Amino acid sequence: MSTQHEPPFDTPAYNNYLETMNQTQTKEELNQRQLLCKDLEVLCTQDSTILEEVIDEYVYLLNAQRIEEMQEFVNKEMESDY
């Protein structure tokens, strides 16, 4: 049985993301993004090709440091599932 895990929130890249979000996002924009996340989650559970597309775009937008951080996260999570 797999457990849903949280992404790594203790990274410098995530802290930079939070700082950017706090500086540039209005409450309405943040709510819109949160709704989009929920809608994408529903669509991805219904159609794995949508999930693949979202993941592809996300990964290709990452900088080198964030790729390394996410790879470490993935490795840890995959080890804990087995």
- pLDDT tens, position by position, 11-51: 666 776 777 666 666 888 888 888 998 999 999 999 999 99
Residue 44, number of CB atoms within 10 A of its CB: 16
| 8 Å CB contact between 39 and 33 | no
Cβ-proximal residues to 47 (8 Å cutoff; 6+ apart), any chain = none
Task: State the Cα–Cα distance between residues 78 and 82, nearest whole angstrom.
Answer: 7
Task: State the Cα–Cα distance between residues 36 and 19, nearest whole angstrom.
Answer: 20
Whole-prediction pTM: 0.61
Per domain, the residue ranges of the chain are 13-81
